[in-house]
Amino acid sequence: MMRKIVFRMVLLAGLVLPGVATAEAYSIRIISGQEGGREAMCINGQGQVAGRSGTLAFIWSPEGEGEGSSRVVGDIGWDGAVTGLSETGTICGSRYNMAGYKTAFAGGQEGIEDLNPLPGYESSEATGISRDGLVVGACWNGGWWGNWNDYWENAMVAVTWDPFTKTASPFPFYADCGESTRIADISGSGLAAVEVKNYQLCELEDAYEDNNTRDMAWPINQSEAPWLSGQWLSDRTGTAAQFDDDWFALGSLEQGQRLRVDTRLDLPNLVGAFGVDLCNAAGTPVAESVAAGEGAALLYTISAAGDYYIHVWGDGYGTVYALRWTASSEIDDPYEPNDDAPQATPLASGEWLHGVQQNEDWFAIEVSEGETRLQVECLFDNALADLDIGVYADGMSDPMVDSPVAYSAGRTGREFIDYCVSGPGIYFIRVLSSSESVFAGVEYDLRWTAGECTDDAYEENDIQESAYDISVISSAWLSSLSGGAALLDDDWYAITIPAGAGLLTIESRIDNGGGYLPVSLYRDGETEPTVDYAEMYPNGQQVFSVQGPGM
């Protein structure tokens, strides 16, 4: 037996009783019918109407002259129905296939496409669609022959459909909801209404409830569930749904432990506010997450021993997520101490190193005779940190005094240096965290290789008197003239400044995505650089104050 509470709002349009004031002016527009008439079945917040005209599903829009505009979406058969219309103009509904099974569908500009039922189920029904295209409904076994109660006796399963892959996922809720559930509808913002067999009341949640407060936190700590560290909870107990605050107990953590918490969202493109906090025993947040991939991540070094909790919060739209955590007692890597050049750890060519950037890390490398091209690559999760790398020559490796011979300070998860060294010998690689980093203790991978540099087409331009004239390529990259340049020695270029010019912008970049090269500006015939204003911007640009004309 199924219990439903139903209400209906009715508008009697076009009838104004004498002496009764109306709150607002309104107008009526008639949607003309085609063969078989038109049946309006749903409406969205844009005023668009979807329904059926004969066997065809249509969407009518109030835009347009006279009767507005209408378009056919696809054929749904005489027994098909449109049950949802999103704000973006996509519909959902159900129709019957040749075998007599009810089949959920969704469609838009490209027509109608059937939605895949859960594996092992024969029939499906789409009952609603969210603002962003998330379709909801149910799957069950059996055809349409019979009455409504037969559906429920066949164990109907509430599901959602991914609008991109068209695949169904069971909707999470309490285990005591009964054997049959169906999502009856979903709001534009993602709040779902559920129907449950046998009058049972059911809150749409997950296997971790009731964990709405810190006192009711679901235990995932070492003593209660030691096997969960490093594993997605969804692999053990299923995914969670964020309808309210969700709390998880990590138990006791020691000072100095490095904790990482990751969440993975099933539909990251359809989520409103969502975040993760790490809280201490008093419930006070000590760290918060940042967006990372298709979810959120949190990294924190425990500052004081005690009990800690994970607090998942959001808009309460039922965001489905997976969660995992790891806690390591080793907060740094085995290459420590290597916080400066004198303590640099030797690193062989071609070998990947896995490090932890808790503080500055220095590595000593040796470039052999005949090797003039040095390449250094560093990979990391840039959602957690922004790392930079630099190369320093032997004897010039004090960053407080000496400048690196090459540097990479990008904004992605890859820093890369491709540099022609002046000769063989010892060089140092410095890995450091930029001011943009969110967390300390971020893991990274580092590798270097050495080879042979070849010179470029602009030689010989090693002195000012033999500078290569590039005035003809103003606003274009040097490589568009005669290919890229190689910095095997000093390179000089000549440019002509036109009359009236006040500012000169010079931009440099190192090919293969790594860093920049600072340049100096000289007036013709002068031996000292003219640097009135030459700030280096993050994109490698330098701006000089000049006065033309001249070279």
Spans of all domains in the chain:
39-196, 214-328, 341-451
Report the DSSP beta bridge partners of residue 95. 103
Do 214-328 and 341-451 show the same overall fold? yes
**Range of weakest confidence among 253-262, 458-467, 506-515:** 506-515
Contact predicate 259/308, CB 8 Å: yes
CA dist list (Å): 239 to 15, 269, 303, 372, 550: 52, 17, 30, 53, 69
Report the DSSP beta bridge partners of residue 427. 365, 393
Match 């062989």 to its residue by tokens: 348
pLDDT at 278 over 50: yes
Q: What is the mean pLDDT of residues 326-342?
A: 79
**Range of weakest confidence among 297-306, 375-384, 510-519:** 510-519
Q: Please list, in sequence order, all residues whose beta carbon lies within 8 angstroms of the beta carbon of residue 407, skipping any fewer than 6 positions away.
A: 388, 389, 390, 391, 417, 515, 516
Residue 209, number of CB atoms within 10 A of its CB: 19
Q: Residue 136: CA atoms inside 13 Å, Cβ hemisphere, count?
A: 25
Residue 19, number of CB atoms within 10 A of its CB: 5
pLDDT at 406 over 90: no
Residue 384 is predicted with a pLDDT of 72
Question: Residue 246: enclosing H or E segment and its boundaries?
Answer: strand 246-253
3-state secondary structure of 324: strand
Contact predicate 325/310, CB 8 Å: yes
Q: Residue 37: CA atoms inside 13 Å, Cβ hemisphere, count?
A: 4
Give dist(CA 472, CA 504) in Å, integer. 15
Give dist(CA 264, CA 241) in Å, integer. 12
C-alpha Rg value of the chain to the nearest Å: 33
Contact predicate 276/208, CB 8 Å: no
Question: Pairing state of beta strands 319-328 and 387-393?
Answer: unpaired
Among candidate residues 477, 537, 529, 533, the one with its CA nearest the CA of residue 504: 533
Give dist(CA 467, CA 472) in Å, integer. 14
pLDDT at 174 over 50: no
CA dist list (Å): 393 to 425, 508, 519, 525: 8, 21, 19, 31
For 11-43, the pLDDT digits (tens) are 222 222 233 333 334 344 445 544 446 788 888
Fold of 341-451: Jelly Rolls (2.60.120)
pLDDT at 270 over 80: no
Residue 191, number of CB atoms within 10 A of its CB: 15
3-state secondary structure of 438: coil
Q: What is the DSSP string of 25-60?
A: ----------TT--EEEEE-TTS-EEEEETTEEEEE
pTM for the full predicted model:
0.43
CA distance from start to end of the chain: 91
Residue 373, number of CB atoms within 10 A of its CB: 17
Report the DSSP beta bridge partners of residue 362. 430
Amino acid at 213: T
Q: What is the mean pLDDT of residues 426-441?
A: 76
3-state secondary structure of 279: strand
Q: What are phi and psi of 188, to 5 degrees?
A: -60, -35
Contact predicate 242/212, CB 8 Å: no
Q: What is the mean pLDDT of residues 250-270?
A: 79
Residue 539 is predicted with a pLDDT of 56
pLDDT band at 223 (very low <50, low <70, confident <90, very high): low
Residue 307 is predicted with a pLDDT of 92
Residue 23 is predicted with a pLDDT of 36
Give dist(CA 391, CA 502) in Å, integer. 35
Contact predicate 130/104, CB 8 Å: no
Residue 224 is predicted with a pLDDT of 53
Question: Residue 136: enclosing H or E segment and its boundaries?
Answer: strand 135-140
Residue 103 is predicted with a pLDDT of 93
Contact predicate 449/375, CB 8 Å: yes
Q: What are phi and psi of 158, to 5 degrees?
A: -70, 135
| Range with top average pLDDT, 187-196, 257-266, 436-445 | 257-266
Give dist(CA 539, CA 485) in Å, integer. 19
> Between 3.40.50.300, 1.10.150.110, 2.40.240.10, 2.60.120.380, what CATH number should domain 214-328 receive?
2.60.120.380
Give dist(CA 443, CA 439) in Å, integer. 11
Contact predicate 254/329, CB 8 Å: yes
Amino acid at 25: A
**Range of weakest confidence among 174-183, 197-206, 292-301, 426-435:** 197-206
Structure tokens at 110: 């490209």
pLDDT band at 93 (very low <50, low <70, confident <90, very high): very high
Amino acid at 368: S
- The percent of the chain in helix, strand and coil, each rounded to the nearest 5, is 5, 40, 55
pLDDT at 441 over 90: no
pLDDT band at 67 (very low <50, low <70, confident <90, very high): low
Give dist(CA 97, CA 77) in Å, integer. 9
Between 332 and 100, the higher pLDDT residue: 100
pLDDT at 290 over 60: yes
pLDDT band at 458 (very low <50, low <70, confident <90, very high): confident
- The highest-level CATH class for domain 39-196 is mainly beta
Residue 64 is predicted with a pLDDT of 66
- Long-range contacts, stretch 100-104, CB < 8 angstroms, 24+ apart: 100/143, 100/144, 100/145, 101/143, 101/144, 102/143, 102/144, 104/135, 104/137, 104/161
Among candidate residues 243, 272, 449, the one with its CA nearest the CA of residue 350: 449
| Range with top average pLDDT, 65-69, 81-85, 368-372, 505-509 | 81-85
Residue 298 is predicted with a pLDDT of 84
